[in-house]
C-alpha cells in the first residue's frame, strides 16, 4: 500500500467513525422523542422543548464546518439524521431538515466570505433556522436605503417560524422585482410571528405567519439572487433545489419507516396488548407487509441514487455545468415523487393490518398518516412527474423552484 492509499484509508476511516458518531447521537435523540411522541403531538404545543433537545445534542450545528465551530458533517450524514428523527417524530424531522437546508443556503447564494461569517455566527449562537424560499403571494418587499435595506410584508411559512432564531426568507426588490434570499434576525423590531399555522398534521413543525414592518436588514444579510431566469444563477446555486427536495425525500421515508416499525411491533405475538385484526401468520398480513416493505425499499433505493449524484455535484463546486445540474435535479425530483407516493401508501395501509384498534387515540398511529399527508400537500406529486416526463421526453431542464 502506498503512502497515498494509506492516507486515503485513514481519512475514510475517520469520516466513517465521525458519521457513526452522529448517527448514534441521532438514534438517541429519536429514542428520546419517541418516548412522548404521542402525548406531544396531541398537545400540539410550540416545540421549544424539542428544539432545546436538538440543540443539546449539538445537532443544530452538524452541517457547519468544524473550522467555523460546527460539527463538520456532510449532507449524506445530515439526511440520515433527518430520516432517523422523522421515524420518531415527522414534524421535528421536518423542522430539522428545513433548518439544515436554510442554514446551508448562504453557501449556495452568497459569496464565501459572507457564508463563512454566517456559519461562524450560527455556530456561536446555536441558531435554529426557519422560514423558506418558496415563491408566494403576496410578496415580501426589500427596499434599499442609505444604510442597508428595509423588509416589509407578511408571509406564512410551514416550518420553524415560531421557534427560529433566524429566518431565511424570499423577498422581492422594490426597484427591480428580483427575488432575493434574505437573512432576518427574529429579535429585530418589526418582526412579528403569529401562531396561526394550524394543520391536521405536522403540528409540531412550528409553522405560522410572520409580519415584517420596516425591519432593518444589513447589506451582508442579503445573501443573493433567487431568480429563475436563465444565466442569473450559476449551476452550483441550482443545486439548492435538489438539496431541498432530498430533505423532503428523507422526511417521507422516515415517516414511512416509523409507522412500519410501530405497526410491526404492535402485531408481534410477544406484544401482550396487541389485538390485531388478523394474526401475523395470516397470508393477507404477510402480503401487506411485503408490499409496503417493497414500496419503502424501492423509494429508498431511488433516494440513494439521487444522493450519490448530489454528492458528486456538490464536490464539483464551480466546475459543475448546467446539464449536470439538470440531471441531479431530475433524480431528486423522481426520488421525491417516489417517496411521496410511498409515504402516503404506507402510512394509510399499514393501519389496515391492525384493524379498528389502530384508530385508538392512545396509540397515536394516525399521526403518521396525518404528518405524511400534510407534508406532501405542499409539493403535489403531479408536478414532480410532469418535470421528470418533460426531461425524459423533451430534454427540458427542470425549472429552478425551491420547495416549501
Q: Residue 279 maps to which CATH number?
A: 1.20.140.10
Q: What is the DSSP letter of 140?
A: P
| 182 strand-pairing partners | 169, 222
- Please check whether residues 277 and 212 belong to one and the same domain: no
Residues 209 and 108 in one domain: no
> Do residues 323 and 382 share a domain?
yes
Based on the fold, state whether residues 154 and 301 are members of the same structural domain: no
- Beta-bridge partner residues of 209: 156, 194
Q: Is the pLDDT of residue 303 over 60?
A: yes
Using an 8 Å Cβ cutoff, are 262 and 354 in contact? no
**Last residue of a domain, which of 68, 93, 128?**
128
The model's pTM is 0.93
Q: Tell me the CA distances in angstroms from 102 to 133, 172, 211, 278, 387, one per residue in order.
A: 9, 18, 19, 45, 24
Same domain, 286 and 191: no
Domain holding 242, by residue range, is 235-394
Q: Is 320 helix (H, G, I), strand (E, B) or coil?
A: coil
Are residues 294 and 375 both part of a single domain? yes
Q: What is the rounded CA–CA span in Å between residue 27 and residue 106?
A: 29
Strand partners, 145: 148
pLDDT band for position 87 (cuts 50, 70, 90)? very high
Q: How far is CA 317 from the centre of its chain?
A: 22
Running DSSP on this structure, what letter comes out for residue 227? -
* Final residue of a structural domain among 158, 190, 225: 225
Q: Are 143 and 152 in contact (CB under 8 A)?
A: yes
Is 168 within the bounds of a domain? yes
**Distance separating alpha carbons of residues 337 and 324, to the nearest angstrom:** 20
Residues 71 and 205 in one domain: no
Torsion angles phi and psi, residue 65, rounded to 5: -55, 145
- Say if 402 falls within a structural domain: no
pLDDT exceeds 80 at position 126: yes
User: Is the residue at 269 inside a domain?
Assistant: yes
Angle CA(90)–CA(93)–CA(94) in degrees, nearest 5?
90
Q: 244-284 pLDDT, tens per residue?
A: 999 999 999 999 999 999 988 887 755 545 555 556 678 88
93 is written with which cell numbers? 424531522
pLDDT (tens digit per residue) in 180-198: 999 999 999 999 999 887 8
pLDDT at 196: 81
Domain identity same for 280 and 302: yes
35 in a structural domain: yes
Please name the residue that has the C-alpha cell 409553522. 207
- Helix and strand numbers (H, E) in the chain are 12, 8
Closest CA to 310 of 104, 131, 168: 104
Asked whether the predicted pLDDT for residue 6 surpasses 50, the reply is no
Sign of CA dihedral 257, 260, 264, 265: positive
Band of residue 137 on the pLDDT scale cut at 50, 70, 90: confident
Residues whose CB is less than 8 angstroms from the CB of residue 31 and which lie 6 or more positions away in sequence, other chains included:
88
Write out pLDDT tens, residues 386-399. 999 999 999 999 99
Q: 218-227, pLDDT tens digit by residue?
A: 999 999 999 9
Q: Is residue 363 part of a domain?
A: yes
Give the pLDDT of residue 280: 63
- pLDDT tier for residue 323 given thresholds of 50, 70 and 90: very high
Number of domains in the chain: 3
State which H helix or E strand residue 137 sits in.
none
24 lies in the same domain as 108: yes
Q: Does residue 321 belong to any structural domain of this protein?
A: yes
Same domain, 41 and 149: no
What count of residues does the chain have? 404
Report whether 336 contacts 250 (CB < 8 A): no
Looking at the structure, do residues 75 and 104 belong to the same domain, yes or no? yes
The radius of gyration of the chain's CA atoms, rounded to the nearest angstrom, is 22
Tell me the three-class secondary structure of 334-402, residue by residue: HHHHHHHHHHHHHHHHHHHHHCHHHHCCCCCCHHHHHHHHHHHHHCCHHHHHHHHHHHHHHCCCCCCCC
CATH number at residue 182: 2.40.110.10
Q: Are residues 218 and 263 in the same domain?
A: no
Q: For residue range 36-66, what is the model confidence (pLDDT) as tens digits? A: 999 999 999 999 999 999 999 999 999 999 9
Q: Which residues contact 357 (CB under 8 A, 6 or more apart)?
A: 275, 276, 277, 363
pLDDT band at 352 (very low <50, low <70, confident <90, very high): confident
Beta-carbon contacts of residue 74 (< 8 Å; ≥ 6 apart): 63, 311
CATH code at 24? 1.10.540.10
Q: Please report whether residue 355 resides in a domain.
A: yes
The pLDDT > 70 percentage for the chain reads: 93
The grid coordinates of residue 165 equal 432564531
Q: Cβ contacts of residue 311 below 8 Å, gap of 6+?
A: 74, 75, 76
- The model's pLDDT over 153-167, given as tens digits with 9 standing for 90+, comes to 999 999 999 999 999
Query: Any idea which residue has 452550483 for its cell?
Result: 236
Instruction: Single out the residue of 246, 215, 204 nearest to residue 33, CA to CA.
Output: 204
Output the CA–CA distances (angstroms, integers) from residue 30 to 187, 254, 312, in the order listed: 30, 11, 29
- Residue 179's DSSP bridge partners are 172
Q: DSSP letters along 31-64, please?
A: HHHHHTHHHHHHHT---HHHHHHHHHTT-TTTTS
Tell me the pLDDT of the chain averaged across its residues: 92
Which of 196, 225, 254 is the C-terminal boundary of a domain? 225
| pLDDT tens track for 8-24 | 343 334 457 899 999 99
Provide the pLDDT for residue 279. Answer: 64
Residue 299 sits at the vertex; the CA angle it makes with 385 and 95, to the nearest 5 degrees, is 90
pLDDT one-digit tens code per residue, 281-300: 788 888 988 999 999 999 99
Residue 97 lies in a domain: yes
Amino acid at each position: 500500500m502506498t503512502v497515498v492509499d494509506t492516507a486515503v484509508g485513514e481519512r475514510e476511516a475517520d469520516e466513517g467513525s465521525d458519521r457513526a458518531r452522529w448517527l448514534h447521537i441521532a438514534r438517541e435523540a429519536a429514542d428520546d422523542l419517541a418516548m412522548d411522541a404521542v402525548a406531544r403531538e396531541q398537545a400540539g404545543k410550540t416545540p421549544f422543548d424539542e428544539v432545546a433537545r436538538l440543540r443539546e445534542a449539538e445537532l443544530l450545528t452538524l452541517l457547519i464546518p468544524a473550522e467555523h465551530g460546527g460539527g463538520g458533517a456532510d449532507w449524506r450524514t445530515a439526511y440520515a439524521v433527518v430520516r432517523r428523527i422523522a421515524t420518531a417524530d415527522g414534524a421535528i424531522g421536518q423542522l430539522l431538515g428545513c433548518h439544515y437546508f436554510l442554514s446551508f443556503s448562504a453557501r449556495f447564494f452568497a459569496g464565501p466570505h459572507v457564508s463563512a461569517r454566517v456559519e461562524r455566527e450560527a455556530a456561536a449562537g446555536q441558531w435554529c433556522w426557519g422560514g423558506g424560499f418558496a415563491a408566494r403571494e403576496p410578496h415580501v418587499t426589500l427596499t434599499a436605503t442609505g444604510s442597508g435595506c428595509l423588509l416589509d410584508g407578511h408571509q406564512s411559512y410551514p416550518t420553524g417560524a415560531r421557534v427560529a432564531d433566524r429566518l431565511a426568507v424570499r423577498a422581492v426588490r422594490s426597484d427591480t422585482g428580483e427575488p432575493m434570499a434574505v437573512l432576518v434576525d427574529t429579535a429585530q423590531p418589526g418582526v412579528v410571528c403569529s401562531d396561526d399555522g394550524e394543520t391536521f398534521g405536522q403540528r409540531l413543525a412550528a409553522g405560522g405567519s410572520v409580519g415584517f414592518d420596516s425591519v432593518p436588514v444589513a447589506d451582508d444579510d442579503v445573501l443573493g439572487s433567487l431568480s429563475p431566469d436563465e444565466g442569473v444563477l450559476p449551476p452550483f446555486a441550482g443545486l439548492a433545489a435538489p438539496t431541498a427536495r432530498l430533505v423532503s425525500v428523507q422526511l417521507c421515508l422516515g415517516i414511512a419507516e416509523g409507522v412500519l416499525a410501530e405497526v410491526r411491533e404492535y402485531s408481534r405475538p410477544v406484544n401482550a396488548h396487541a389485538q390485531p385484526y388478523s394474526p401475523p401468520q395470516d397470508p393477507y398480513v404477510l402480503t401487506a407487509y411485503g408490499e409496503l416493505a417493497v414500496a419503502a425499499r424501492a423509494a429508498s433505493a431511488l433516494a440513494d441514487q439521487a444522493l450519490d449524484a448530489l454528492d458528486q455535484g456538490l464536490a464539483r463546486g464551480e466546475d459543475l455545468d448546467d446539464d449536470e445540474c439538470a440531471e441531479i435535479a431530475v433524480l431528486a425530483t423522481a426520488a421525491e415523487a417516489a417517496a411521496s407516493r410511498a409515504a402516503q401508501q404506507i402510512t394509510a395501509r399499514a393501519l389496515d393490518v391492525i384493524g379498528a384498534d389502530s384508530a385508538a387515540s392512545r396509540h397515536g398511529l394516525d399521526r403518521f398518516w396525518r404528518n405524511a399527508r400534510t407534508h406532501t400537500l405542499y409539493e403535489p406529486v403531479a408536478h414532480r412527474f410532469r418535470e421528470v416526463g418533460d426531461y425524459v421526453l423533451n430534454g427540458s431542464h427542470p425549472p429552478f423552484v425551491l420547495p416549501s
